[in-house]
Amino acid sequence: MFDLVRAAIPVFVACLALEYLSFRFLPDDDELGYNRRDTRTSLLMGLGNVIINLGWKLVVVAVLAGAYLVAPIHLSATNPLTWVVLFFADDLAYYWYHRTHHTIRVLWASHVVHHSSTFYNLSTALRQPWTPFSSLPYWIPLALIGIPPWMILLQQSVSLVYQFFLHTERVGKLWRPIEFLMNTPSHHRVHHGSNDAYLDRNYGGILIVWDRLFGTFEPEGERVDYGLTKNIETHNPLKVATHEFGAIIRDVRSAATWRHRWGYIVKGPGWSPAAE
């Protein structure tokens, strides 16, 4: 099956090089640019994600195909309306996948990898988790309404390629109608911010309308502080990939009751019994 993300890797590399050169020869004191160790970690995280997905995608295809087989109807790929339905359904699925991976700690343990850099450039887009297994359930409903699995996977890759270009400080705010409808670098910078005003905001993939509808939109205002509320201070890819899982295990072991243990797993990042 054609994988648009892997096919786009040469484009990603070329854009990384161009962005790096733009910082080198057209520096901006208000922008962070690149850090060699940080960028190396991001690239290694991306490479690991690609390798893991070589096997995991087989499971994804099998599950989506099974759901598609039992779907009461099968939508035609030759009907333009199927592609319209797919676009909006995929983007809505991504919104809820993304939102729950910020608000449920065991899911955050996987997604936190993407937010672990204190820099914000195109290499940050490649800082992906090595535990992508929790994303599958969000797209099963698309197969159950009759969208062919190959179309679902293609649209997922279109969304990921689009989102790669959001990870930059080199692009300011765009034309207002675009900023109103679409996810843009400005909106996504907010999402990567650790500022109090920016926490848990702007979950959209391609569109920003879901955030506007569900009350999670925040425009870019004050300067963004990138990274986590408590940064992990490591460039070790294995630690970046697993640190939050380790923290959950430690918290669960130290909890006094089963309710508290459960809270450390399913409540939001930062939750503790003292917060109740």
3-class SS string, 21-74? HHHHHCCCCCCCCCCHHHHHHHHHHHHHHHHHHHHHHHHHHHHHHHHHHCCCCC
Instruction: Report the C-alpha gap between 236 and 37 in whole angstroms.
Output: 10
Mean pLDDT for the stretch of residues 56-78 = 97
Separation of alpha carbons 152 and 157, rounded Å: 9
Residue 160 structure tokens: 């990921």
Q: What are the structure tokens assigned to 102, written together?
A: 């910020």
Question: Does residue 276 belong to any structural domain of this protein?
Answer: no
Amino acid at 155: Q
Calculate mean pLDDT across residues 163-188: 98
Rounded mean pLDDT, 19-35: 94
Does residue 229 surpass a pLDDT of 80?
Answer: yes
Residue 43, pLDDT above cutoff 80? yes
Q: Say how far apart CA 106 and CA 47 lie, in whole Å.
A: 23
Closest of 130, 129, 126, 159 to residue 142, by C-alpha? 159
Task: Let me know if residue 69 belongs to a domain.
Answer: yes
Confidence check: pLDDT of 226 > 80: yes
Tell me which residue of 52, 45, 59 sits closest to 115, measured CA to CA.
Answer: 45
- pLDDT at position 99 is 98
Rg (CA), the chain: 19
Q: Is residue 147 part of a domain?
A: yes
| pLDDT at 24 (0 to 100) | 92
pLDDT at position 112 over 60: yes
pLDDT at 1 over 80: no
Total domain count for the chain?
Answer: 1
Confidence of residue 274 (pLDDT cuts 50, 70, 90): confident
- What pLDDT is recorded for position 51? 95
Q: What is the mean pLDDT of residues 192-218?
A: 98
Q: What is the pLDDT of residues 187-203, one digit of tens each?
A: 999 999 999 999 999 99
- pLDDT tens figures, 118-142: 999 999 999 999 999 999 999 999 9
Mean local confidence (pLDDT), 101-114: 98
The 3-state DSSP class for residue 248 equals helix
Percentage of the chain lying above the pLDDT 70 cut: 99
For residues 3-12, give the mean pLDDT.
90
Residue 273 lies in a domain: no
When pLDDT is cut at 50, 70 and 90, the band that residue 29 belongs to is confident
In this prediction, residue 6 carries a pLDDT of 85
- Which range of residues forms the domain containing residue 228? 4-24+34-266
Average pLDDT, the chain: 96
- Cβ-based neighbours of 56, under 8 Å, separated by 6 or more: 132, 133
Q: Report the percentage of the chain scoring pLDDT > 90.
A: 94
Strand partners, 182: 207
Residue 108's pLDDT band (boundaries 50, 70, 90)? very high
The pLDDT score that the predictor gives to residue 2 is: 61
Give residue 104's pLDDT band: very low, low, confident or very high (50, 70, 90). very high
